[in-house]
Structure 1
């Protein structure tokens, strides 16, 4: 096992570990701990906790299978739950999204978005599990709203039995509350048909939000890249390349949503650091 040196301290080197430039992007966004309140000093710093959490995300392993030369699994899981409950993961995710948009020459407040859902199999146990008859999938459904760069604005995880229109109402309501600047949302035909335009009418009447349906041509055969819709499909592709997200192993939907944001934090921080995301354990693999 190779060893990485950071701050004079040797630490295990795994492909999922944060590089120094990526950590320099995330570190200023971490909460400052008040050491004047007493108590024992922390044994593991934030960076080593992040390395352990990202090992789980990238490899898809169980928490108890975190390598011992990282940090004990219970310490990693305890900090993961703390950051999730305190809103640390949400704050870092939102701050990085704003930075990526600014560096791309966009306003931090988006004006348009893309909506879609993805049914995913689950592991054993957990809450909010159901059957999606359309996709023939037993598990959960991820409802995403992304901006035109593919960055996540809203994520909601529900039972797979929740249809697109009820799920769409939930995420659009959250979108309108968090991003009042968004006035146009593209979605697929699953959110409205020729008979039922209830979601479209509701969104406009309630939030003055225009939901535009991007339909597939009746003459199309096989795979077809559709305008605007491909953006959110690419985001789903980014997510499932993390093995923890290729299947939903979380017992709670809040944990599923946090894993989605962790994946996007890693992707955005890597981009801001000027590096490329590597998806292989082989150091010679071409970065993508």
Structure 2
């Protein structure tokens, strides 16, 4: 987190950055309302105030990008990726709020998350729009941001929704305007049901990582900027676990009950 300037005066902070961060991560992971933050952490308005302040000064972006670079370097990868995968996910949203629409294909009223990830599934760019925005118009926005921020990327994999046999304008636009090779990975028509597709499964896995955070299982934010920030915070949480050598285990009910019984037996025999 950025160092605080004490020269401006004012009262001493009552809550440290670690406590504020724990409260914000609690909201993302549990999906609770801000006002339902446990009292043993800190008042909800203090957590929300710092959450918004770190959005305004770009702290979340800097922390996210620094952690992504560390994860890539730790795995022996170049910090600057050379290839990426793009996809979009329609998600239901709460009533009201900015940019809310209807996705006729998915029959979903809410918003759409357009993301680009590297070959490890780490987030590079995210843009949240209304669900009514189609993949190709949304793809132009997110690819433009990708080209601005990552000049090292030359190849992007995508699914058939970004360019079909009739309209392949997005492929030509990406090549001419951005210098990106957009390669379409199509599924086999004669195979029914779920099918693991080369390269595309990476971004699908990232969506799976995101929705396991209850705050992201549905879009509860009033502003699309806050929706994008919540996605980055979820990835920050995941990357910090990786860097510290910890694993996020998504256990089921039976596994939790077994651990509790084992713990109880240990306490009794001790």
Coarse TM-score class (shorter-chain normalised):
over 0.9
Of residues 159, 172, 178, the one that matches 1:188 is 159
In the other structure, the counterpart of 1:166 is 137
Of residues 194, 214, 225, the one that matches 1:223 is 194
In the other structure, the counterpart of 2:103 is 132
In the other structure, the counterpart of 2:243 is 272
The correspondence of residues 187-266 of structure 1 with structure 2, limited to 5 A, is 187-266=158-237
Deviates more, 1:33-42 or 1:88-97: 33-42
| TM-score with structure 2 setting the length | 0.93
Moved over 6 A (4+): none
Of residues 51, 70, 74, the one that matches 1:103 is 74
Counterparts of 1:34 and 1:273 in 2: how far apart (Å)?
29
Counterparts of 1:221 and 1:278 in 2: how far apart (Å)?
31
Counterparts of 1:73 and 1:125 in 2: how far apart (Å)?
22
Deviations 1:155-183 (A, max 9, x none): 00000000000000000000000001100
- Matched residue pairs, number? 256
> In the TM superposition, what is the alpha-carbon distance from 1:37 to its structure 2 partner?
2.1
Gaps of 5+ in 1: 1-29
In the other structure, the counterpart of 2:122 is 151
> In the TM superposition, what is the alpha-carbon distance from 1:36 to its structure 2 partner?
2.6
Gaps of 5+ in 2: 261-270
More helix, by proportion = 2
The correspondence of residues 14-93 of structure 1 with structure 2, limited to 5 A, is 30-93=1-64
Q: Indicate yes or no: 2:47 matched with 1:113.
A: no
Q: Indicate yes or no: 2:148 matched with 1:177.
A: yes
| TM-score with structure 1 setting the length | 0.87
Deviations 1:156-213 (A, max 9, x none): 0000000000000000000000001100000000000001011000000011100000
> In the TM superposition, what is the alpha-carbon distance from 1:254 to its structure 2 partner?
0.2
What secondary structure sits across from 1:265 in the alignment?
A: helix
RMSD between aligned residues: 1.3
> In the TM superposition, what is the alpha-carbon distance from 1:275 to its structure 2 partner?
0.7
